[in-house]
Amino acid sequence: MADDPQSTPATGPEGDRQGEPATGSGAPAPGTESDKTTEPTGDQAEAVKAAELRAAQAEAEAARLRRSNAAQKGTDLDALRAEVREEFTAQLVRAEVRAAAAGKLRDASDALALLDLSALAGPGGEIDGKAVSAALDELIKAKPYLAAESGQAGAWGDVGAGPRDTAEPEPSTPYERLRRAYSD
């Protein structure tokens, strides 16, 4: 029935308007008492209109303020500088803590996770190396299992590679080299 030329977009295949219930479906017919809505009268109508006007004005003012703040935010160079300085200082503090923790802790990232990094930088962005060392020492006291293992030469030991303490002099001729290689 969708190909029917008498069918219009506003009416369905049954001739009823789409989205409206049919009159025989138990819905109240238009114009009955249950269809009427209560409309504000007199002072109530004026109060509703005034409230709607105030709401529209408030929305317009909020939009104006949003635009104004967005415009000022991009040109406030002092605020941008302060923000960049804070981010840069935070990166410097993390790098300083990582470098100081490299020899003291098994994993330097533990220091980043467990220390209060904001207390290690001064107000001018200066990083106090003594404060970083003291904070790492306190962390090792509180959690000794994080400390780096000391006294071990290496996990694999000496595997015999590398330069020797007593090196034999280089043979002067190729014949001498062959004689050393094949002699007992």
Domain locations in the chain as residue ranges: 42-75, 78-146
Measured CA to CA, the distance from residue 149 to residue 157 in angstroms comes to 15
Res 153: pLDDT: 47
- Structure tokens given for 100: 């100081």
8 Å CB contact between 110 and 136:
no
Give pTM, 2 decimals: 0.42
Residue 165 to residue 58: CA distance in whole angstroms: 86
- Give pLDDT, residue 72: 64
CA torsion angle for 119, 125, 127, 131 (degrees, to 10)?
A: -30
| Mean pLDDT of successive 10-residue stretches along the chain, which has 184 residues | 50 48 50 55 83 90 81 68 86 89 86 85 80 89 85 55 71 88 81
105 backbone dihedrals φ, ψ, rounded to 5°: -115, 155
Q: Provide the pLDDT for residue 30.
A: 53
d(CA 36, CA 30): 9
Q: What is the pLDDT of residue 155?
A: 54
Supply the pLDDT for residue 12: 46
**Tens digits of residue pLDDT in 110-134:** 888 888 888 888 777 788 888 888 8
pLDDT number for residue 106: 87
Structure confidence at residue 148 (pLDDT): 83
Half-sphere exposure of 17 (CA within 13 A, CB side): 4
pLDDT of residue 170: 82
